[in-house]
Amino acid sequence: MKPITHEARDKVYGERAEEYGEASKYMPMVAGLWSQYTGTELNVTDVCVMLAMLKMTRLKHNPDHRDSKIDICGYMEVSEKAKQPEAAATTPNIIADAVSNGAT
């Protein structure tokens, strides 16, 4: 069996990327939407930490659920990737994009 961290990387850059698109593209959108909803400025790291906390809560119910552990590692991978300069340069501003496209 692969180490959990290796499985997480495989999922982030493989299976999950194919299903949902690249995390570097959609996680900033989640941060933008959550920022608007909460009235508090959130970033990708905040989103990743909160999603990891959700998975930790699930682990409280079922501590042996490997997929939740893999997801936690995956969220931390995405959080680290978001801190890299090239990720910051390509972060979309979903709110500005929506406003410029006529959404209110």
Domain ranges of the chain: 4-85
pLDDT band at 1 (very low <50, low <70, confident <90, very high): confident
Q: Residue 104's pLDDT is what? A: 44
- Asked if the model's pLDDT at residue 30 lies above 50, the reply is yes
Angstrom CA distances, 83 to 37, 80, 99, stand at 23, 5, 26
Per-residue pLDDT, 10: 92
Alpha-carbon gap, residue 24 to 79, rounded angstroms:
9
User: Tens digits of per-residue pLDDT, 46-99?
Assistant: 999 999 999 999 999 999 999 999 999 999 999 998 887 655 544 455 555 554
Closest CA to 28 of 92, 74, 89, 83: 92
Indicate the pTM of the whole model. 0.78
